[in-house]
Chains A and B, each alone.
Chain A
């Protein structure tokens, strides 16, 4: 069964450093998402991406964040200058989207620790 794959599973970075989280969505899916979950809190929407552009973003997704689909298979989330409060589990998701919005398939997550 096709899966959304995320790498790395755990990333430790120093405050102020740039990080790139990588995701490979399911190949025929059209909608891509990043969510995050700070320890002990709810899963929060960050950004959605469709047709090679951001379709929606939350207040969390400020100028420090960017997303890219550089090669038609990877979908990346970049944080330019990490802060301690960026420490969280980051989930990528994709949706097939043909004929309407359907089930979101999630990756296993990347745990980002900013020290």
Chain B
């Protein structure tokens, strides 16, 4: 079974600064998908960024980018130019490409952006 670990329960960053959230995972599969979801106080789960394991190039979406290290099974999220609206719970998630087609979530990191 896959596991996803987020070792930072809470983080804080000043507005306009850069912050990196950590995520590691464990799997025996070679092809899979990794995601970062954001859940603001409104509680809707919003996709931030996704990465396909067979792609070596790190995914980027505007101010959000990942550092995907497949051999190390590491998938960190970097948020540049942090904004107050980035305050939320961030979940790292794994999904198999061919097996179980459901997300396995990490425990989450609560990010607070300070003005």
Q: Do chains A and B stick together as partners?
A: no
Q: Which residues of B contact A (CB under 8 A)?
A: none
